Structure formats: C-alpha cells, structure tokens
Amino acid sequence: MFAFADHLLHLEGEALPRDVDARAAAALLARGAACRAPVRGIVYGTLLNDRGALDALGEAMHAPPYKAPPKAPVLYLKPRNTLAGHRARVAIPDDVSGVEVGASLGIVIGRTATRVSAERAFDYVAGYTLVVDLSVPHASVYRPSVRLRARDGFCVVGPALVSARHVANPDELVIQVSLNGAHAFAANTASSVRGVARLLAEVTDFMTLSAGDIITLGVPHGSPVAHIGDTATLSIGALPPLQVSFAGATEQEGEQP
C-alpha cells in the first residue's frame, strides 16, 4: 500500500519525503527548493495515447512496420537512471541539437492492481504528479528506442505527488510548457485516446502495477524542443509546476551525487 495524506515532496538533502498540505508545499517551492523525484517505483511511459499523435502519423499508421493503429496501450520503461526531480539540470547528448520536452500526467498507483475494471480504477490511484518525459527527437515511434528515451535524467518527476482527492477530473486538465519564461506549448489531457480509468483497466488486464509505480497518460503531440542553456517550466492543472534546465553533456561528466 502506498498512501500519503496531501502533497508529498522529497527535498534535496533530506532523507525522507515530507507529507504537507498545499499551502506548505507552495511555500517550500516558492523559496526555490530543489527536489528529488518524490517516488521511486517503476515509471511506465504510454505511447500513442494522444489523438494528435495518431492523426500526425496519418496513413503511415496503416503501412509497415505499424500496419494498424494500436489496439492496446503501447508502453515503455523509464528506468531508474532516468529519474530526476524539480530543478534538475539534465545533459543534452553531444550528438543531438536538443531534446523533446514532453509534459505528461503521472498516475501514481496506491495498491497492487491486477485486472482492475474501469469502474473501480480510481480506487487504485493514490494521486497524481507531473512527469517530464524527455526524448531525443525522432520520427519513428515503432518499438520505442531505449537510446532515445532512457538517457540519464530523461524522466523528471514532481515536484510533488498530489493526493487524488485534490484532482476532481484528471481527464480534463490543461497542460502548459514554457521555455525561458515564454509560452511554448499548450494541450489538454482530454486529447487522450484512453482516459485514466480505461488506461489502467487495459494495462492491468495483462500486467500487474504495484503500489508506488507511476504510469503516464502519455505525451501530447507537438511538444517543444529544448536546447543547451534553456529552462523549461511545466504545469498540469493545479499541480505544482515543475522546472528543469538543460546543460551540455561535458558539464555533466564524471560521477554524479
């Protein structure tokens, strides 16, 4: 069982996360606090769960190698090395010009979920968080590439896990991304092919999700690309906004703390 009362934050330098109310969380973040990822469970990304992404592929979705639109959720892992927290500084690989900054709603599992019905799916949700799902820009989404999606720091989570009771309708939340203080992208979780309940029902039909795991609702089509020196700020609904900055790979060399 994974449970918390309100807003869970794991401040840098502290051994354990804090469970605080919304006002206390806002005060801590307003002081410029950096955070670790507030949960250490497995993070599953969801691919092609956005209507815009499917529309953009058009007829290519019916040609090899795809041959047809997916009939079940397409998942990929964001392994432990990718995890980072609020105000993280992420390295952009030397061989690319930038990284795609995908803002996605993270669904935090509260208890073991196996073959959960859509009607009962929300009983298994502990809360929600913001996930910055980073990837090297690429055209093909066939068999999601580890090399493009699983670089160090390519999954920034937080700054807080927010209890499900504070999110009345996760399937209708505004998503916004700014780069260096300027508006760069807007979307809505309503563009998802599968909403939260249906996604959990279809995923748990073939695999078990454990308490503390996170599954993302998916990245909306058209996410902006960040470059070395940029700072991105992301928000979803009323969840506390998440900030990440980008450095060159040479600035991040050597053993990391």
Residue 65, preceding bond cis, omega within 30 degrees? yes
Strand partners, 179: 182, 232
Pairing status of strand 83-84 against strand 43-47: unpaired
pTM score > 0.75 for this model? Answer: yes
Residue 194 has pLDDT above 70, yes or no: yes
CB atoms within 10 A of CB 131: 28
- Cβ-based neighbours of 158, under 8 Å, separated by 6 or more: 9, 10, 35, 36, 37, 38, 85, 86, 129, 130, 240, 242
d(CA 254, CA 166): 41
Residue 191's pLDDT is what? 95
SS3 234: strand
Structure confidence at residue 257 as a pLDDT band (50, 70, 90): very low
pLDDT bracket for residue 256 (50, 70, 90):
very low
Residue 92 has pLDDT above 70, yes or no: yes
Angstrom distance (rounded) from CA 131 to CA 128: 10
> Using omega within 30 degrees of 0 as the cis cutoff, is the peptide bond preceding 159 cis?
yes
Q: Summarize pLDDT for 51-68 with one digit per residue, the tens.
A: 887 777 777 667 777 677
What whole-number percentage of the chain has pLDDT above 70?
93
Across the chain, mean pLDDT equals 91
HSE on the CB side for 37, CA within 13 Å?
Answer: 26
What number does CATH give the domain 7-250? 3.90.850.10
Task: Taking residues 2-7, report their average pLDDT.
Answer: 90
- What does the buried/exposed string (b/e) look like for 27-58 if buried means 16 or more CB atoms within 10 Å of the residue's CB? ebbeeebbbbbbbebbbbbbbbbbeebeeebe
Q: Residue ranges per domain, the chain? A: 7-250
pLDDT in tens, 113-165: 999 999 999 999 999 999 999 999 876 666 667 788 899 999 999 999 999 99
Q: What tokens does 156 get?
A: 């920034």
pLDDT tens per residue across span 219-230: 999 999 999 999
Give percent above pLDDT 90 in the chain: 75
Query: CA–CA separation, 238 vs 235, rounded Å?
Result: 8
Rounded to whole angstroms, the maximal C-alpha distance in the chain is 52
Return the structure tokens found at 74: 């397409």
